[in-house]
C-alpha cells in the first residue's frame, strides 16, 4: 500500500513516516506541508534522520492524493475537511487523527465517507481503543448511581481542551447510558457551582511538561470507586495504530469507520 502523510513535518507527521517505513506491506508515497513551510523541498528521509528517499515535502496536496492509495491526516480541522473532500473525489482511503473538529466538520467527514473509506478516531492507540470499549460497558453496567469524571493531561503545547480522546471517552460513557453527551457533560467547574447533577459526565483538563497523553475515567459511588486509566509514553503508538488502520481499510466498502472497527470491538 502506498501511504502519504499530510502534515509530514510536524511531530506526528514525522512519527507517521517512520512507522510507514518500518511496516511490512507499506511504501511511503510522499508528504505534504502547508504552502510557505520551510520544509518544502526537503527530502523526507533526511527530515526524519534517515538516508535520503528521493521524496520531498510538497505543498501539492492533489499530487499526493494521486500518488497514494491511502493518506494519514493528523493536521488541523480546516485542512482535514478539505482533505476529506479530495479523498472522496479521488476515491482514496483517508485515516484521520485530527482533533478539535466541530460538529460541522464531522458532518463533512461523514458526507465524504459516502463516496470513499474514511477512518476517524480521536486516538489510534490500541490501548485507548480498548479503554473506550470498557468505558461504554462500565457505564452501562454501573448506571446512574456512579458519577463519571474524565481526567486528561497532555503536554503544554496542546491547543484543544478537553482532548479529543477525553471527549471520545465521554461519548462512550454517554452511549453506555443511552444519552447524548452534550446533554449531560460538564467541561469545567469554577466558583460556587452547587451540588453535582445526577447523571453528569464531568471533565478535568491538565496541561504541562511533555506528557504524551494520560486519560482516566473515574466511576465514583457511595462507598466504592472504579478507575480505568491509560498512559501513553510515546507518540509512536498512535502512528502504528494509524498505519494499521490504513492497511485494514483496504478493500472495505465506502463508509465512516473508527478504530473500534479496526480492532473488531
> What pLDDT score was predicted for residue 50?
96
State the Cα–Cα distance between residues 114 and 254, nearest whole angstrom.
Answer: 6
246 among the known binding-site residues? no
Mean pLDDT, consecutive 10-residue segments, the chain of 265 residues?
Answer: 97 96 97 95 96 97 97 96 98 94 96 98 92 97 97 94 94 97 94 94 97 97 98 93 97 96 92
pTM of the predicted model as reported, rounded to 2 decimal places: 0.82
165 in a known ligand binding site? yes
Q: Where in the chain is the domain with CATH 3.30.360.10?
A: 126-232
**Active-site position among 83, 92, 120, 154:** 154
Residue 97 assigned ligand-binding role: yes
39 is annotated as contributing to ligand binding: no
Q: Is 11 annotated as a binding residue?
A: yes
The class level of CATH for 126-232 reads: alpha beta
Can you tell me the distance from the alpha carbon of 223 to that of 252, in angstroms, rounded to the nearest whole number?
47
Position 235 scores a pLDDT of 87
Give the closest residue to 203 by CA, choosing from 230, 248, 245, 171.
171
Q: Do residues 74 and 82 touch, judged by C-beta distance below 8 A?
A: no
pLDDT confidence of residue 122: 85
Told to judge if 187 belongs to the known catalytic residues of this protein, a careful annotator would answer: no
CATH 3.40.50.720 positions along the chain are 2-120+235-263
Question: Quick check: is 154 catalytic?
Answer: yes
Task: Please state the CATH superfamily assignment of the domain spanning residues 2-120+235-263 in this structure.
Answer: NAD(P)-binding Rossmann-like Domain (3.40.50.720)
Catalytic residue among 2, 90, 158, 187: 158
- Rounded CA gap, 95 and 247, in Å? 10
Can you give the pLDDT at residue 265?
A: 85
Amino acid at each position: 500500500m502506498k501511504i502519504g502523510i499530510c502534515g509530514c513535518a510536524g511531530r506526528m507527521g514525522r512519527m507517521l513516516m517512520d512507522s510507514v517505513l518500518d511496516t511490512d506491506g507499506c511504501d511511503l508515497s510522499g508528504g505534504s506541508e502547508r504552502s510557505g513551510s520551510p520544509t518544502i523541498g526537503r527530502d523526507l528521509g533526511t527530515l526524519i534522520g534517515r538516508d535520503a528517499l528521493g521524496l520531498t515535502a510538497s505543498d501539492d496536496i492533489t499530487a499526493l492524493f494521486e500518488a497514494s492509495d491511502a493518506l494519514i491526516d493528523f493536521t488541523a480541522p480546516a485542512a482535514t475537511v478539505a482533505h476529506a473532500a479530495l479523498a472522496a473525489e479521488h476515491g482514496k482511503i483517508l485515516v484521520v487523527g485530527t482533533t478539535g473538529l466541530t460538529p460541522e466538520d464531522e458532518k463533512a467527514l461523514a458526507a465524504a465517507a459516502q463516496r470513499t473509506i474514511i477512518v476517524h478516531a480521536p486516538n489510534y492507540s490500541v490501548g485507548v481503543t480498548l479503554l473506550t470499549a470498557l468505558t461504554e460497558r462500565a457505564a452501562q453496567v454501573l448506571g446512574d448511581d456512579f458519577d463519571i469524571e474524565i481526567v486528561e493531561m497532555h503536554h503544554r503545547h496542546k491547543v484543544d481542551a478537553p482532548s479529543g480522546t477525553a471527549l471520545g471517552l465521554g461519548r462512550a460513557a454517554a452511549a453506555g447510558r443511552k444519552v447524548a453527551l452534550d446533554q449531560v457533560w460538564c467541561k469545567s467547574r469554577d466558583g460556587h457551582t452547587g451540588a453535582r447533577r445526577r447523571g453528569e459526565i464531568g471533565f478535568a483538563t491538565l496541561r504541562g511538561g511533555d506528557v504524551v497523553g494520560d486519560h482516566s475515567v473515574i466511576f465514583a459511588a457511595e462507598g466504592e470507586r472504579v478507575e480505568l486509566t491509560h498512559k501513553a509514553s510515546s507518540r509512536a503508538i498512535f502512528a502504528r495504530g494509524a498505519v494499521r488502520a490504513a492497511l485494514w481499510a483496504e478493500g472495505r466498502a465506502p463508509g465512516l469507520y473508527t478504530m473500534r472497527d479496526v480492532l473488531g470491538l
